[in-house]
Structure 1
Amino acid sequence: MARCCSRATSRFAGLNRTSTESSSSLLLWCLCLLVVSAAEAGLYTASDQIILLTPENVDAVLVNSSAAVVVEFYASWCGHCIAFSPSYKSLARDIKEWKPAVDLAAIDCSVEPNGKICFRFGVKGYPTIKFFHAYSKRESPGQAFKVSSREVRGLRQTIIDNLETNKEPWPPACPPLEPASQEEVDTFFETNNVEHLALIFENSKSYIGREVTLDLLQYENIAVRRVLSTEKGLVTKLGVTEFPSCYLYHAGGNFTRLKVHIEARSFYSYALERLPGVVRSGKPRPVPPEVLRNNTDEPWRPFNSSRVYMADLESTLHYSLRVELAAHPVIRAEGLVALKNYISVLAKFFPGRPVIMNLLRSVDSWLQNQTGSELSHAALREVVDNNNSAQSPDAALPEGVKWVGCQGSKPYFRQYPCGMWTLFHVLTVQAKTSGSLEPQEVLRALRGYVHSFFGCRQCAEHFNNMARESLREVKTLDMAVTWLWSRHNRVNNRLAGALSEDPYFPKIQWPSPQMCRDCHTVKTNGDHGWNNTQVLSFLQSYFSSGSILTDYLDDESQVLEKQMEKHASQKLALEAQRRAERKAREVLEAVMQSPPSQPPEEEEEEEEEEGAQEEEEGGEGAAPVDRLGAKTPEPAPWAKPEMDLGRGQRRGRRKASIVGMRMRDQQEDIVDLDSFISEHYKAKAMRGASAASTWVKHRTLQRKEEPDAGLVFGLGMELDAGVGMVGLQPVDPDLDLDLGQRTRWLQKRGLAGQHSNDNAEKRLSAQSHTGSWMSMLSIGFSKVDISLCVILYFLSSMCLLFMYLFFKNRLRPRRVKVPLP
């Protein structure tokens, strides 16, 4: 039976998902047709635990189903349907545990695509309820469901009557509902493998036994049977004197009476569900506390389940403000309004420690002063972390979570959702205690936060549906407290048995009879009821600020100290980052400003030496002065004239090039051959020209060319830094002149006074005869280098000659001797 129940439950979940997907598709289709969507116009939503039928899923739900299905055919414009919808929703919550055997469904016949379905089942008026037995055929029109009243009790009993009319074979998902006999009870443990057998003794007209049997349908290790008062053998054996009453029958014939506060269905079900070894189908057994201590990531913290812990509330604030809101980098429009209302409510009613309240008031004041239409979470985080502690001293919110009353048996159970519900209850109770003038202030703020920021979007939708349905009915602060409590119990009912339920902390209707005995009562018809006066008194006491425990909390001084340490570490990290960025920026600027061929310091030193020497050599032979008054160096006879780069601007250095193409910049780790060339030509061609020696030294670092009257192109004076090859540079055509023309060329450039004597002419002539060969053979090379080159050239020539002779000898045709006759 347990396996069948499990399959039925899984099937229901799959059908519910299919229904939701179909509803979404229908919504898009209706929007395209500019028609009001069924989800918005209908009376029921997925939060009501009712299957919403559509043309796509109707056959999957009704045809050949292992569970019986009760279907309401309604029209959303029908007044009687609207009046009946609360009863139908209450019925769905009441028989939620019957789902393996019975499902509830509804379909809105006013929606045009659904009209064919309603016509198919012969629906002519609204509301119409039909009962479909398990394994119904497609052509089955359903069985008329007689509704005598809108009371949940009457609807529930009518469902049981229809279940009992099922023909053979009996559906495996439904437990036996007929009365048990003494023979069956005596042999029960021989044919069934369960730990507990609960016998409910009642009169023949009572439905309690059958209702409890269906209530325990989703639980393992227990079976429930009804025994009529006419079964004298069992009544006498167990000494039953009250009807109804419940007895636990054990193997071997032992029995004990089940102790409950009131002999009623809800109290029987609650007590039986919590018997040792009884678990929900598909859920693991509750683990003992000593196992929990070693089963979670954090050590298990013993706690009193009847008290609220401040550690849970502060952990909830941390997760809400620092983690959940971080999913919204920019908060705009409706979300910003919801955030302001949420923080405002916290600042007013949260019963926190002084450091927490100081921070909440600071954040609230800061938020209220924000007049823009959007807000970044980064800015909010700065205020929540109180980075500017000078403006808000003694204000801090502890970081991290430390769950106590909301801890679960696994790291993914309870925790933040439990903390949020606890926080909501505390705020509503504190608003009533402080005498707030607006009954819905807290509820609206919580609704806005859940709608805009709560991470579980389906949960947020369910909460918003509940608020839309009945929040307007809250008129007093007492009603605000009880409204939130009743909606919390509704959520517990919906989530009972879900994968998110912690088996160690099952979802129950809270408070339990053990926590508040006087909160529970029974109506005149036998159904469970709540004593709202006692419930309100219990809630005010349970969630009051004086009842909140401060166990497991750090002292306020420790919280402030940790915050200061965090700020100090952040400041040091920020300063280190700024220093690194500044150094990187300085290095980048230095690289961009300095020439790659010479460091800035060496260039400045050479400029200072050049300026000093030019000042000493001033006079008639001094270099001419440019427009700004700076001395302009005179070019050497072998230097190519450069173009003026502008007033007050230094002439840039010419890079080595091959027929006008720019060469790559020299690497700093390559030996600078220009210095050697400069010294070489100073010794050969610049003796006696002391007035211009300094200028030549500086200029030869920038450009060096060997004048050659017979060559248009010569070997450049710089080597390519990447491949180490001598770069070709164009030679000035003016250098291709005879000696007389060269003299006139020098005089034209103002150097005749320095080179007009015979010695200068002889040196210049010798240079003109040998310069080209020297530039071809020895520029940048030592004598050893040239000797090695000559030797290698000679050896390669000998090798080529030897190879030539060898192959010539091998290829010579051999003479053939012809024999003489």
Structure 2
Amino acid sequence: MARRCGRATSRFTGEIQIYPRQAATFAVWLCLCVVFPPVAEAGLYSTSDQVILLTPDNVESVLVNSTAAIVAEFYASWCGHCVAFSPVYKSLARDIKEWKPAVDLAAIDCAAEENRKVCMRFGITGYPTIKFFHAYSKGDSKEQTFKAFPRDVRGLRHKIIDKLEAHEDPWPPACPPLEPTSQAEIDSFFETNNVQHLALIFEDAKSYVGREVTLDLLQFENVAVRRVLNTEEDLVTKLGVTEFPSCYLYYPGGNFTRLNVNVEARTFFSYALQRLPGVVRSGKPPPDSINIHTNNTEEPWRPFNKSRLYMADLESTLHYSLRVELAAHTVIKGDALISFKKYISVLAKYFPGRPVVMNLLRSVNSHLQNQTGDEISYEELREMLDNPAQSPDTALPEGQRWVGCQGSKPYLRRYPCGVWTLFHVLTVQAKNAGGTDPKEVLTAMRNYVHNFFGCRPCAEHFENMARESLVEVSSLSSAVLWLWSRHNRVNNRLAGALSEDPSFPKIQWPSPEMCPACHTVRENGEHRWNDEQVLSFLMSYFSSKSILTDYLDDESQVLAKQREKHEKQQALEAQKCLERKAREALDSMTNPSQPTVQEEEEEEEEGLQDEAVADEEEEGGEGAAAANEMDGNKSEPTPWSKPELEVGRGRRQAHGRPSIVGMRMREPQEDIVDLDSFVNQHYKAKALRVAASSRIKRRTLQRKEEQEPGPVFGLGMELDAGLGMVGLQPIEADFELDVGQQRKRLQKRDLTGQYFVEEAELSHRGRWMSVLSIGFSRLDISLCVILYFLSSMCLLAMYLFFKNRLRLRRAKVALP
């Protein structure tokens, strides 16, 4: 039985034969699948197997009152026979995919806790069990069980046909008549049917070919298939039929012609009829005329040879993969980074590109292999791809120029076609180059699709196929065949989907026209792929020698475009830099720089405290005044050259201990030298900009009368940024100014890195007065007077107390 099952798995379209030497590996893989089931699948089947997965939620809608007959398998995922039968059931689903409007396949895992009630409802006691549900079944309808059902696709297919023929009313609406036709029906066929082609399959009574082809053409319009037995002598004689089975095309007026096929078998009949002129899939528009595009806004059509490959498709695939698809990942790290490195390594090793492209791939691969971090940003990758260093003869053409992968519509084929083509080319090149690891290319492609391919359902389907059977690959030849067979499986699944291009239908490739030797039949008439011929065809078709370079720009043009692009980028960056500088200059003229919150906090941290200004000897005072004046006339330094040394020196001066020499009342006729007048005299332009800001209130600047010579207080770096003064008064050289008032406001620091003293906000100038050359408020004076009065009274009280006390003591001593 095991041997029979092993043969069965090799009979179906696109499958690789499992030879006895691979039986042990296959058995181990099956055991691992049972013991460690994949997380992505709940049982033995997935959505990519074209089998309806039954659950308690959908069992009623699928099995009851359905317009199609349903074949359902009840299995247990722990059952070894169920595991062995699952590849057969999956192949059956692919084999009868075109029958779906009339009959469909379903499966349910009875080992799952949530499905046990469903299985008990249908009386399931053993696994696997297959039941047939009629169309429009009721809730209490009795389903039919396949007893002793065959374990091969052909036997199961015939079993389903028998059940359909025995179907009771109502008949599945999409199912065509399967009984033999007669001469009378053929004569009146075109009077009641509006079709372009009528195909007559001549066979004996035991043959299933006619009914299978009828169901295979179920989803196609403008063609009808009828079965004619060899006992229908009138038609046999009229058409001169001598071979059974055989197919003839019958037209109105009695005209007919024989359908030319390589082998008189079901697969060849079905393929030839589906390719007839005017035959299209139901619901699909007819193929567009793709020779000329009348709309000038569309990309022009590029004529190409369908039997050849084009380098333009491969380079377009690389461009989209590396510059578009990977760009969706801002940072590539972890397993994705490992997968990406392997992907680039395989490309650099086996991609049959032009020298400029290969130089770039090798350069990127070398950079990635030498990279030691655990992540890489796409910006870094883009820099490598764009080659800003202008490495000689290194470039990847930008843009997409599809030729063999172009579609009749802008949204059809293209990149998916290019990805498959690239995969096939790499597997073939690995075999030609004599690679040592048969899974090197397949593993790299699998991981790339898993991590980066934009179509996530497609990536999931590909991962399911790889997880299921990649273990079978044991040689470079089997790697080439594995990818080909899985590509055909995908074609089978997507045939008839919205993504199918009507001008390029999904078929089992290569077609009999491209490779007649690739198709053979067994003794029972079943189609079989000749793996040796298929491998030879693939090695020739995807060889680097067969790749055409039509529609490609010359390498010198590619390099010239790259240089032009870099020059434009540099010019654009320079222009942006100039515009930015111009905006900054304009902003500095119109809007003075305002200190940020962080700068204000830094200034607070530098120490905001009361400072006493010492007035030293007359010569020293004059020297300091001259130095301060010079500092005020110095040009502003650049923003990035912050004078830390001077700032430190200013701090040392601010924190130094002041020496108070003396204090003297200012002459009444002398005016106060206000900071406003100082700024007006020495920093008029800067004061105007500061006054224009929203944070500093405008005040009328008053020009003071000319004063007596005295020290000048400059705003150079010698003044501490944290020093706040309400008014600076000129004093005599032998006196020193004692500042006791804490500053009222934070000082501002401009973009040049210099410090300047901000104007203090004064609500009423008349509130302040100068006493002893230091500004005191009236409240301060009042407090001083009160304290002076209280202290005087206290001293007077103490004087009177002690005087009275002393008088009493003297009186006692004088007594006799």
Q: Check whether TM > 0.5.
A: yes
Q: 1:445 to 1:195 in 2, by over 3 A?
A: same
Q: Which amino acid aligns with 1:421?
A: W
What pairs up with 1:161-180 in 2 under 5 angstroms?
A: 161-180=162-181
What pairs up with 1:593-672 in 2 under 5 angstroms?
A: 625=622, 627=624, 630=627, 637=669, 639-640=671-672, 665-666=691-692
What pairs up with 1:328-727 in 2 under 5 angstroms?
A: 328-389=329-390, 392-585=391-584, 625=622, 627=624, 630=627, 637=669, 639-640=671-672, 665-666=691-692, 678=703
Q: Which amino acid aligns with 1:290?
A: N
The equivalent of 1:308 in structure 2 is: 309
CA distance in 2: counterparts of 1:296 and 1:636, whole angstroms:
91
CA distance in 1: counterparts of 2:148 and 2:377, whole angstroms:
56
Tell me the CA shift for residue 169 of structure 1. 3.1
Q: Which amino acid aligns with 2:765?
A: P
Q: Which amino acid aligns with 1:251?
A: P
Question: Could you tell me the TM-score, scaled by structure 1's length?
Answer: 0.72
Q: 1:421-449: CA deviations, max 9, x gaps?
A: 00000000000000001100000000000
Note the residue ranges of structure 1 that are not aligned, 5 or more in a row. Answer: 1-34, 597-619, 657-662, 696-701, 706-726, 736-744, 751-821
Q: 1:568 to 1:595 in 2, by over 3 A?
A: closer
Q: Which amino acid aligns with 1:471?
A: L
For the 8 Å contact 2:135–2:170, the answer to whether it is kept is no
CA distance in 1: counterparts of 2:728 and 2:345, whole angstroms:
80
Range with greater deviation from structure 2 (64-73 or 290-299): 290-299
The equivalent of 1:233 in structure 2 is: 234
CA distance in 2: counterparts of 1:627 and 1:690, whole angstroms:
17
Q: 1:61 to 1:624 in 2, by over 3 A?
A: same
Q: 1:342-368: CA deviations, max 9, x gaps?
A: 000000000000000000000000111
What pairs up with 1:38-53 in 2 under 5 angstroms?
A: 40-53=41-54
What pairs up with 1:1-20 in 2 under 5 angstroms?
A: none
Q: 1:534 to 1:635 in 2, by over 3 A?
A: farther
Q: Which amino acid aligns with 2:455?
A: C
Give the SS at the match of 1:577: helix
CA distance in 2: counterparts of 1:271 and 1:631, whole angstroms:
102
Give the SS at the match of 2:403: coil
CA distance in 1: counterparts of 2:773 and 2:338, whole angstroms:
83
For the 8 Å contact 2:339–2:447, the answer to whether it is kept is yes
The equivalent of 1:87 in structure 2 is: 88
CA distance in 2: counterparts of 1:236 and 1:581, whole angstroms:
92
Q: Which amino acid aligns with 1:98?
A: W
For the 8 Å contact 1:212–1:268, the answer to whether it is kept is yes
Q: 1:732 to 1:56 in 2, by over 3 A?
A: closer
Tell me the CA shift for residue 332 of structure 1. 1.2
CA distance in 1: counterparts of 2:421 and 2:125, whole angstroms:
48
Q: 1:232 to 1:561 in 2, by over 3 A?
A: same
CA distance in 1: counterparts of 2:338 and 2:244, whole angstroms:
58
Query: Does residue 324 of the first structure (1) align with residue 359 of the second (2)?
Result: no
For the 8 Å contact 1:69–1:103, the answer to whether it is kept is yes
Q: 1:382-409: CA deviations, max 9, x gaps?
A: 00111122xx321000000000000000
Range with greater deviation from structure 2 (379-388 or 505-514): 379-388
Tell me the CA shift for residue 578 of structure 1. 2.8
Q: 1:108 to 1:625 in 2, by over 3 A?
A: same
Question: Could you tell me the TM-score, scaled by structure 2's length?
Answer: 0.72
Q: Which amino acid aligns with 1:227?
A: V
Tell me the CA shift for residue 162 of structure 1. 0.4
Q: Which amino acid aligns with 1:563?
A: Q
Q: 1:660-694: CA deviations, max 9, x gaps?
A: xxx993589xxx9968x74xx86xxx6xx7979x9
The equivalent of 1:249 in structure 2 is: 250
Tell me the CA shift for residue 625 of structure 1. 2.9
Give the SS at the match of 1:290: coil
Tell me the CA shift for residue 569 of structure 1. 1.1
The equivalent of 2:201 in structure 1 is: 200
CA distance in 2: counterparts of 1:48 and 1:342, whole angstroms:
28
The equivalent of 1:604 in structure 2 is: none
Tell me the CA shift for residue 53 of structure 1. 0.2
For the 8 Å contact 1:260–1:267, the answer to whether it is kept is yes
The equivalent of 1:184 in structure 2 is: 185
Q: Which amino acid aligns with 2:399?
A: G
For the 8 Å contact 1:52–1:107, the answer to whether it is kept is yes
CA distance in 2: counterparts of 1:375 and 1:38, whole angstroms:
29
The equivalent of 1:611 in structure 2 is: none
Q: 1:664 to 1:344 in 2, by over 3 A?
A: closer
CA distance in 1: counterparts of 2:191 and 2:459, whole angstroms:
49
For the 8 Å contact 1:121–1:141, the answer to whether it is kept is no
Note the residue ranges of structure 2 that are not aligned, 5 or more in a row. Answer: 1-35, 596-616, 633-665, 714-725, 730-761, 775-816
Tell me the CA shift for residue 83 of structure 1. 0.6
Q: 1:595 to 1:416 in 2, by over 3 A?
A: closer
For the 8 Å contact 1:332–1:373, the answer to whether it is kept is yes
Give the SS at the match of 1:256: strand
Q: 1:584 to 1:429 in 2, by over 3 A?
A: same
Tell me the CA shift for residue 168 of structure 1. 2.3
What pairs up with 1:98-117 in 2 under 5 angstroms?
A: 98-117=99-118
Query: Does residue 63 of the first structure (1) align with residue 64 of the second (2)?
Result: yes
For the 8 Å contact 2:292–2:301, the answer to whether it is kept is no
| Identity among equivalent pairs (%) | 64
Q: 1:629 to 1:128 in 2, by over 3 A?
A: same
CA distance in 1: counterparts of 2:116 and 2:65, whole angstroms:
22
Q: 1:577 to 1:39 in 2, by over 3 A?
A: closer
For the 8 Å contact 1:427–1:442, the answer to whether it is kept is yes
For the 8 Å contact 2:673–2:728, the answer to whether it is kept is no
What pairs up with 1:272-283 in 2 under 5 angstroms?
A: 272-283=273-284
CA distance in 2: counterparts of 1:456 and 1:146, whole angstroms:
42
Tell me the CA shift for residue 621 of structure 1. 12
For the 8 Å contact 1:43–1:85, the answer to whether it is kept is yes
CA distance in 2: counterparts of 1:296 and 1:213, whole angstroms:
43
Q: 1:310 to 1:667 in 2, by over 3 A?
A: closer
Q: 1:316-353: CA deviations, max 9, x gaps?
A: 00000000000111111111011000000000000000
The equivalent of 1:136 in structure 2 is: 137
For the 8 Å contact 1:277–1:285, the answer to whether it is kept is yes
For the 8 Å contact 1:147–1:155, the answer to whether it is kept is no
CA RMSD of aligned residues (A): 3.6
CA distance in 2: counterparts of 1:333 and 1:537, whole angstroms:
39
The equivalent of 1:731 in structure 2 is: 766
User: Number of paired residues?
Assistant: 634
The equivalent of 2:120 in structure 1 is: 119
Tell me the CA shift for residue 504 of structure 1. 0.2
Q: Which amino acid aligns with 1:299?
A: P
Q: Which amino acid aligns with 2:436?
A: L
CA distance in 2: counterparts of 1:294 and 1:515, whole angstroms:
33
CA distance in 2: counterparts of 1:96 and 1:494, whole angstroms:
8
For the 8 Å contact 2:136–2:170, the answer to whether it is kept is no
CA distance in 2: counterparts of 1:356 and 1:269, whole angstroms:
43
Give the SS at the match of 2:254: coil
Give the SS at the match of 1:581: helix
The equivalent of 1:814 in structure 2 is: none
The equivalent of 1:755 in structure 2 is: none
For the 8 Å contact 2:181–2:228, the answer to whether it is kept is yes
Q: 1:644 to 1:212 in 2, by over 3 A?
A: closer
For the 8 Å contact 2:309–2:546, the answer to whether it is kept is yes
Could you say which structure has the greater relative contact order, defined with CA pairs below 8 angstroms and 6 or more residues apart? 2
The equivalent of 1:659 in structure 2 is: none
CA distance in 1: counterparts of 2:73 and 2:699, whole angstroms:
100
